[in-house]
Amino acid sequence: MKENLSTLLRVRNLANGDAALYFYGEIVSDWWEAWSSADKYPEAIRRMLDGLSSEHLHIYINSPGGSVFAGMAIYNMLSRYKGRKTVHVDGIAASIASVIAMAGDVIEMPENTMLMIHRAWASVSGNTEELARYAELLAKVDNAVVSVYSERLNVTDDLERVIELMGKESYLSAAETAALFRGVSIKPPIQMAACTKNAGAIYAASMEYERLRLLEMKNTGG
């Protein structure tokens, strides 16, 4: 997309020089799959981070997850960011969004938020060989996700517990998340006034993003 859209996507707190990044939609592979202005994809994140030099990056998450490979790319990009990273779970960090949360130096979770972890799944069809190959792929995806969680465990022996929880598709409270993973800070529940203080500005930016995205699709024949 054009630079004006890239600029819009990068949100800065001009008062103290911090930067903010919001994951408030699905994690998708590219702009074509981003049906909502809240959806995020790796190239958009790369553009946001390109040239960003803020010492403190705030990452806000309320996402159901999405593409595992896109999410892993985003996790790796955020992990490489040299500034301090604070993740704020504003609602739920589910599926691959929970992996993205692990990129934070600190993960702040109000008491009324959750982390959801599960094993990779897919709906496929084919013969026995094709199904076996896909099962092997899903197992490798599970291992990739587990490797990220394992680096964050408070106690190494809890790895089997995490794998068990993934198999059950588990919704972890803030307290349960803090018991498993290091660097998790439990906060008081988010107050509605705090959530809606900047709602008008966020909505306006969201609408402008959508307008520019549709204009870009029209101009490129997409």
Q: Which residues pair with 58 in a beta bridge?
A: 20, 86
By the 10 Å C-beta count (0-12 exposed, 13-18 middle, 19+ buried), 17 is classed as exposed
Element (DSSP H or E) covering residue 179: helix 174-180
Which runs of E-coded beta strand occur in 82-221? 84-94, 106-110, 114-117, 170-173, 184-187
Cα separation, 166 vs 4, in Å, equals: 40
Show the tokens assigned to 98: 């929970």
Report the Cα 164 to chain-centroid distance in Å: 22
| Tokens 């076996």 found at | 132
| Catalytic residue list | 95, 118
- What are the residues whose beta carbons fall under 8 Å from the beta carbon of 85, sequence distance 6 or more? 56, 57, 59, 78, 103, 104, 105, 106
